[in-house]
Structure formats: C-alpha cells, structure tokens
C-alpha cells in the first residue's frame, strides 16, 4: 500500500486525543490512525504532552514560571514512553476496527441512493453522523450540501476532485466553502467513511433539480 498522502489536521488529532471530538469524527480519526504511522505518532506525542502538562501542574498553586521548563523537560522523555500507551487495533479487511465496532461486527447493510451509489449510516445524532459510501468506479458522488465540517476517508479504491486524488487511508477535510464533485476513479468501487457535523442532504438528483427549477 502506498503511504497515506492526505492526513488529519493536527488540531483535530489534538481534539481527538483530549476526547473533545464528536463521536462521528472520532470514528474517522481512529480509522485513520490505524492506517497512518505519521498521525499515530502525532497522537501519541500529544497524549504524552497532555500527560506531562498535567504532571507538571502544581496541585495547590497557579502554574509558575518553572512550568514551561518542566513541560519541555517532560517532552524530552516522550520517546521513552511505552508504545502501548495508545493501543491501536490492526485493521481487519478493508474496515478498520473503529468502523467494525460501528457496524457491530456485521457487513454493511447498503441502501441504494440511485445510479449504483449506496450508503450505510453507522451513527446519526445531533452532534454529527458517520456513514459508509459505496461509489462504483467512474461515478460521481451525488451532489450534497454540507452545513459544517465534513471528513471523508477512503477505505477502498480512490476518488478525485479539484483538491487532489484520495486513495486508501487518505482523508479529505471539507468545510461549507468547499465546492467539489468527487468522482470515483475507474476500476474498483470506492468505499468511503464520511463524517459530518450537520445532517447531510444527500438528495436524489431529481428532487435537487426540482429545487433549482422551483427555487424551493
């Protein structure tokens, strides 16, 4: 497998490590970490940093001028921390264990979106949703609006849009400004893991056309 090209932004890894990331996005980060040595190293370093900062904090006083020095000293010892500090289960098949957990260990139950495109919603709640998308080779992902953050990770095959090419392990982080029409590469179907923090409007093509015509 070629190395991962598109990674999780460091602030999102940090939010994941500190447990502040909504579940839908945490699933994508966990899946990426299981396939990416670089981001896993970032996560482990940030976890060690958080631990060192806590250890360095005086329990009965505000942080003193010495804190920075002691935190930096603790950082120097990060290399010595055991690798087991953050256990990352090995990927099983194309679905990383974080995805298998969402699937309850069962194969995805795909629902058709038309044109051969299918989806399986893993979890959906007010904080966000995460789903699997199946796009046959050469097909475009249905046009969809996203109101907030969107993270898409490729599990099988590849897709391409104006921002580049994404293959297994690669993550695309989109926001409402991102105008894109991802197209699956010819050949093997593209299976993606996609998290959003607002309900996605994966409308069928016809209703969307009607929306444009009637401006509803």
Which of 7, 23, 180, 208 is close enough to bind Zn ion by CB under 5 A? 7
Size of the residue set binding Zn ion (CB under 5 A): 5
Q: Which residues from 9-68 bind Zn ion, rule CB under 5 A?
A: 36, 38-39
Give, as ranges, the residues between 70 and 99 that touch Zn ion (CB under 5 A). none
Residue 7 or 208 having the CB closest to Zn ion: 7
- Least Cβ distance, residue 169 to Zn ion (angstroms): 7
To the nearest whole angstrom, how small is the minimum distance from the Cβ of residue 143 to Zn ion? 28
DSSP the chain: -PPP-S---HHHHHHHHTT-S-HHHHHHHHHHHTT-HHHHHHHHHHHHHHHHHHHHS-TTS---THHHHHHHHHHHTGGGS-GGGS--PPPBTTB-HHHHHHHTTSPP--EEEETTEEEEEEEEETTEEEEEEEE-TTPBPPP-B-SS-EEEEEEESEEEETTEEEETT-EEEE-TT-----EEPSSSPEEEEEEESS--B---HHHHHHHHHHT-
CB of 212 to Zn ion, least distance (A): 38
Nearer to Zn ion, 163 or 211 (CB): 163
Instruction: Give me the residues that bind Zn ion (CB under 5 A), please.
Output: 4, 7, 36, 38-39
């Amino acid at each position: 497998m070629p190395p991962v090209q598109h990674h999780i932004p460091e602030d999102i890894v940090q939010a994941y490590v500190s447990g502040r990331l909504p579940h839908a996005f945490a699933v994508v980060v966990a899946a990426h970490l299981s396939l990416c040595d670089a981001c896993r190293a970032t996560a482990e370093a940030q976890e060690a940093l958080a631990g060192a900062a806590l250890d360095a904090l005086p329990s009965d006083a505000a942080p003193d001028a010495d804190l920075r020095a002691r935190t930096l000293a603790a950082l120097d010892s990060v290399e010595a921390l055991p690798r087991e500090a953050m256990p990352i289960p090995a990927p099983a098949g194309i679905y990383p264990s974080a995805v298998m957990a969402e699937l309850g260990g069962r194969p995805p139950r795909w629902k058709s979106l038309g044109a051969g495109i299918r989806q399986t919603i893993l979890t959906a709640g007010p904080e966000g949703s995460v789903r699997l998308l199946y796009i046959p080779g050469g097909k475009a992902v249905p046009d969809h609006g996203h109101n907030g953050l969107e993270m898409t990770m490729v599990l099988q095959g590849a897709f391409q849009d104006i921002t580049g090419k994404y293959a297994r392990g690669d993550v695309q982080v989109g926001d409402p400004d991102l105008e894109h029409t991802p197209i699956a590469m010819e050949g093997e179907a593209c299976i993606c893991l996609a998290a959003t923090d607002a309900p996605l409007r994966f409308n069928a093509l016809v209703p969307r056309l009607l929306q444009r015509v009637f401006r509803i």
